[in-house]
Amino acid sequence: MPQAISDRYELLEELSHGGMGDVWRGYDAVLDRPVAVKLIRQASITSPQLAEEFARRFRREARITARIQHPGVPQVYDAVLDASYERLFLVMELVDGIPLTGYLHPGRPLPVSWAAAVAAQVATVLSHAHDVPVIHRDLKPSNILVARDGTAKVLDFGIAAILRTDVTKLTATGSPIGTHQYMAPEQVRGGSITPQTDLYALGCVLHELLSGRPLFAADSEFLVMYQHVNAAPTPLRELRSDVPEALEELVLHLLRKAPEARPEDTQAVYARLLPFIPPPGQEPGAGEAGPAGAPDPTAVFRRPYAPRARARAGAAAAGDPAPNGVAAPGVQPVPVPARLRADIKEAYEHAEALLEEERFAQAVEVLGEIIEPAARALGSESKQVLALRRRRAAIRLLGGDYRAALPEFDTLADAYARSAGPTGEQARACRAQAARCRAELGQVTDALAALQGVLNVVRAVDSDVSEEAVELRHNIGMLLLAQGRAAEARQVLEPLHQDMCMVFGPEDELTAEIAEALAVIRLGLDGDTPGPPHR
């Protein structure tokens, strides 16, 4: 079983390992949502007094950090410090993004607009933090993620304050505490920390984004720290000629040694970055594209408050491999290895247990983890893999995640149609479920057409009062009623009610529900002339 914190947060997978702590992908068992859990490494606590002081500082910083309300700051959900003071956790929003370190390569500096867009977003985040006031103290590329929609997310606010990494610069062994490549001179000296300390670090980050290399480099960490205090930074245009002069001047201004000599505040920095950020509506030009496959941080400026991108028609569900290894009709399917069979069984059992607790999101995750290895071993359209994907889609539907369930049911319907024919029971069921997702998403016309199409097939191969046909007829009638098409709904529901009374009796739960709907229709609330009472 996964490790649990406070009988609520399960640690599932370590995402990163750093000097200040480890980050885990976890699950909140109470609210059924994924979370990030940061295990913070604290200095050795040698007395009850130190433990109590540390606990106070931890709670204070966690509360202050939680007050930063901005999309660029992952939300803090919880702060957990156990009685021994040995386990210290921050539970936060899990961000799907890639740190800036993934885009930093010597000789491949980033486009000017890309780097400026990241810096402008970070400046905006810092402006909200400094207003609380919260000073980050450890801004660096690994603490800045670019999410899939291009939003820059700044991580680890308050962590340095909790650990007081700006107070003691060297340990007993001479190793610096903190991130020396981005330390402002006043941090190296152990001086007072101000918002301008974060501006210096932002200058280091922007210099590195535009040049592809750290501001200072040396054989030892001590020499790098010495350079931050004493050495002049290399102007960007000496490293890269296409950097605009005004942008070079801004970076040099951010990197001044004295805090009071840097820009007044983040608002001033943002204003000076605006000329290098694409205006709304402007499409990327030649040379403006970032790394292949990377999110685009300029998108939030090019298309502010844009709606989410439309789903590609017929696209496979996210995370599923492309069809391969499909067994042709009459060909012996690939046998399931014993180990894989056991893993699939365990995944089903785990998912069902989670489902009992209405932890839909985690149940989906559990099935997703077995689908990929099963597809590699058996083929993505093998019977076992399709069954796993169908169960995952059904759980998404039960949990109300219709947007994710819809493409999965569509691709499953196509896969079942290829293997067993378009009128087969499994293809029909998946098309009906896809239609129900469309109805929930407001695509009522398409949903009605799809449900009627499936019903026509069912009527051709089975009884009009089969369980499948009754459910489809009921869905169609209630959708029509919800659309205010009372007369059409009545034409569907009255014969269905007669069939239900004959086969299942008037006391049946669904029969009674249909009778209530017909009673509402006969009130004529939608302007139809009330009809005679049903007998």
Give the number of other CB atoms < 10 A from CB of residue 74: 23
**Beta-carbon contacts of residue 63 (< 8 Å; ≥ 6 apart):** 79
Give the number of other CB atoms < 10 A from CB of residue 96: 11
Task: Report which of 188, 191, 182 is spatially closest to residue 136, judged by C-alpha positions.
Answer: 182
Residues designated as active site: 138
Q: Give the angle subtended at the CA of 35 by the CAs of 29 and 38, to the nearest 5°.
A: 115
Give DSSP secondary structure letters for 300-358.
Answer: HHHSTTPPPPPPPTTPPPTTPPPS-SPPPTTSPPPPPPHHHHHHHHHHHHHHHHHHHTT
Give, for 471, the enclosing helix (H) or strand (E). Answer: helix 467-482
Residue 133 preceded by cis peptide, ω within 30: yes
> Distance between CA atoms of 375 and 322, rounded to whole angstroms?
9
> Distance between CA atoms of 145 and 72, rounded to whole angstroms?
9
Burial class (CB in 10 A: 0-12, 13-18, 19+), 504: middle
In the chain, DSSP finds a helix count (H) and a strand count (E) of 19, 9
Q: How many CA atoms lie within 13 A of 273 on its CB side?
A: 28
Give the number of other CB atoms < 10 A from CB of residue 326: 14
Q: In what order do the strands lie in the sheet with 152-154?
A: 97-99, 144-147, 152-154
In the numeric block, which tokens belong to residue 118? Answer: 């990241």
> Distance between CA atoms of 516 and 501, rounded to whole angstroms?
13
| Secondary structure class of 183 (helix, strand, coil) | coil
